[in-house]
Structure 1
Amino acid sequence: MENVCLSCGACCAAFRVSFDRSELSSEGGTVPDSLADDETAYTARMRGTDYAQPRCLALVGKVGERVYCGIYLERPSPCREFGALAEIGVYSAACNRARARHGLPPLEIAGD
């Protein structure tokens, strides 16, 4: 099965990605500190995802054509959780909201 996420990337350019600071490499996690901004004393967010037109700095390529995560193995938990079902062909309403924001057609949602 082809992973449609590799030709989409809309989620990486649609939502704020906040995560626990313990996921930062300086705190023993895997997310590079250089790609994160402080949010609170306990949370950080992926750089670029807190704008009116968000786009994670780790996203490489053109949304809707060919993309990949530049830190795929080091990505934070919200990214792992969001993409987990998509990797097996199960998509969510949030996925389709992100796709709509970029003018991409919806994917079939599990259970529809």
Structure 2
Amino acid sequence: MKMDKIIKQAQRMQAQMALAQEELQNTVLEGTAGGGAVKVTANGHGEVLSVVIDKEAVNPDDVEMLEDLVLGAIKEATSKARALSEQKMSALTGGMGGFPGLM
């Protein structure tokens, strides 16, 4: 009897994790840099979905600045995604440390 209960609990947790993964896939997060001159959107898994660069940020004489802005916006968007993912998984695992390799 006890094993049946454990199996059902594991199946319930698996369904909840699948739902959380789907929610992360459908969540859009934004990172910006340069006062919004560069905007990057990513999903909750940290996959970059789009990069938008304001034409005013494009200076052929200072490509390094634009590269830094793009990198900064990507880092912000993916950092938000990582934090959201950790929050969702922690809520499911009850702070048990998660499951390596799941993300």
Same fold (TM over 0.5): no
TM-score in terms of structure 1 length: 0.28
Structure richer in helix, relative to its length: 2
Higher Rg of the two aligned structures: 2
Structure number with the bigger relative contact order (C-alpha 8 A, sep ≥ 6) is 1
